[in-house]
Amino acid sequence: MTRLFVSRRRFMGIAGVAASTVPLAGCDMLDGLLAGDDPVRGFLASANTLTYRLQRLLIPADRLAPEFSESEIRQGQRPNGSTDPTDPVYLALKDAEFAAYRLNVSGLVERPMQLTLDELRNMPSRTQITRHDCVEGWSCVAKWTGVPLARVLDEAGVKSDARYVVFHCFDSMSLGLAGSAAYYESIDMIDARHPQTILAYGLNGALLPVANGAPLRVRIERQLGYKMAKYIRAIEVVSDLSKIGGGRGGYWEDLGYDWYAGI
Ligand SMILES: Nc1nc2c(c(=O)[nH]1)N[C@H]1C(S)=C(S)[C@@H](COP(=O)(O)O)O[C@H]1N2
Ligand SMILES: [Mo]
């Protein structure tokens, strides 16, 4: 299995310079390749589909990401991307310590829900010490506490045609001259139901700080940092990603990043 993993990397190598610059480009950088409908980008998109299929074929659905001990937490989780959303709805919630916050759960579910933070905190919780890897090239080990996403999905009752879980966020990111776009992300049902996929409200034994996504952010421990939406406003269960945002499954994906960022 490890051998095949290596050859996946080698396969990505065939895509050449472009393949290696995309993951390294970093959260803050855009270049011509990422902006347009470049043929290289189309090729990368199909390479990503292949990577996704291969990994899903080769890796057991519940394989766990490594977990660490308390002594391996060397610093606070480094805040990255949005760290202080300015959306007025978010600011009003933040001013009242998120007392009026509701997580909206909708889409292909039997029972749409609006969950308070207390309701989320009263569900079974999971705490895990894991390593966060950002495409910018830094990593942080941190302790996350939250409710397994699978639990929330079970409460809502996922319909049989559901394929993806979409996270809608409060913050918007600049698109340069094209204005701005709300941050969003999506994962498949395998990652959504993975035991380490949690809706986190705690970080390193304290309440999740605003800089790291308060009041609720997702942890998807087998993927890169940009998949782990902060400031989650709503969860939507869908069968198709093409009608959401720019249609590629996430804010960064719409700008050219891989949808499947498995590590
Ligand atoms: N809503 C939202 N989620 C986000 C981002 C963001 O800008 N907005 N940045 C992503 C990126 S690139 C990373 S590395 C992590 C950073 O999480 P942290 O601030 O807790 O380190 O959040 C991810 N989730
Ligand atoms: Mo990142």
Domain boundary among 33, 58, 83: 58
Is 82 inside any structural domain?
yes
Is 65 inside any structural domain?
no
Place of tokens 């340069």: 176
Is residue 115 very low, low, confident or very high in pLDDT (cuts 50, 70, 90)? very high
Determine the residue of 22, 77, 80 to mutate for testing ligand 1's pocket, defined as the one with the most ligand atoms within 8 A of the Cβ atom.
80
Tokens of 62: 């519940």
171 and 118 share one domain: yes
* Ligand 1 center–CA 205 separation, angstroms: 20
114 and 215 share one domain: yes
What's the confidence (pLDDT) of residue 39?
Answer: 64
89 and 198 share one domain: yes
Is 63 inside any structural domain?
no
Beta strands in 75-154 (DSSP E): 103-107, 113-115, 126-133, 139-148
214 and 237 share one domain: yes
* Count: domains in the chain: 2
Is 259 inside any structural domain?
no
What's the confidence (pLDDT) of residue 46?
Answer: 79
112 and 18 share one domain: no
Domain of residue 248 covers: 70-254
Task: Kindly report the protein residue whose alpha carbon is nearest to atom 20 of ligand 1.
Answer: 212
Tokens of 51: 């990577």
Is 263 inside any structural domain?
no
Task: Kindly report the protein residue whose alpha carbon is nearest to atom 15 of ligand 1.
Answer: 225
Task: Kindly report the protein residue whose alpha carbon is nearest to atom 5 of ligand 1.
Answer: 81
What's the confidence (pLDDT) of residue 47?
Answer: 87
Percent of the chain whose predicted confidence (pLDDT) is above 90: 73
Q: What is the mean pLDDT of residues 223-237?
A: 98
207 and 145 share one domain: yes
91 and 46 share one domain: no
User: Which candidate, 92, 189, 198, 109, places its Cα nearest to that of 151?
Assistant: 198
Is 2 inside any structural domain?
no
Q: What is the mean pLDDT of residues 200-221?
A: 98
* Ligand 1 center–CA 226 separation, angstroms: 6
User: pLDDT digits over 16-39, tens only?
Assistant: 334 444 444 443 444 444 455 566
Is 171 inside any structural domain?
yes
User: pLDDT digits over 51-81, tens only?
Assistant: 899 988 988 888 999 999 999 999 999 999 9
148 and 172 share one domain: yes
CA dist 66 → 21, 91, 114, 121, 131 (Å): 26, 35, 33, 25, 8
* Ligand 1 center–CA 42 separation, angstroms: 25
User: pLDDT digits over 150-203, tens only?
Assistant: 999 999 999 999 999 999 999 999 888 888 999 999 999 999 999 999 999 999
- Residue of higher predicted confidence among 19 and 86: 86
Residue 176 Cα to chain centre, angstroms:
23
Q: What is the mean pLDDT of residues 82-110?
A: 98
Is residue 8 very low, low, confident or very high in pLDDT (cuts 50, 70, 90)? very low
Edge-to-edge strand ranges of the sheet holding 164-174: 113-115, 103-107, 232-238, 164-174, 180-188
Q: What is the mean pLDDT of residues 194-222?
A: 98
39 and 77 share one domain: no
Is 260 inside any structural domain?
no
Query: Side chain identity at 133, as an amino acid letter?
Result: D
Q: What is the pTM of this model?
A: 0.86
Is residue 257 very low, low, confident or very high in pLDDT (cuts 50, 70, 90)? very high
92 and 117 share one domain: yes
181 and 53 share one domain: no
Q: Which neighbouring-strand residues pair with 107?
A: 237
13 and 74 share one domain: no
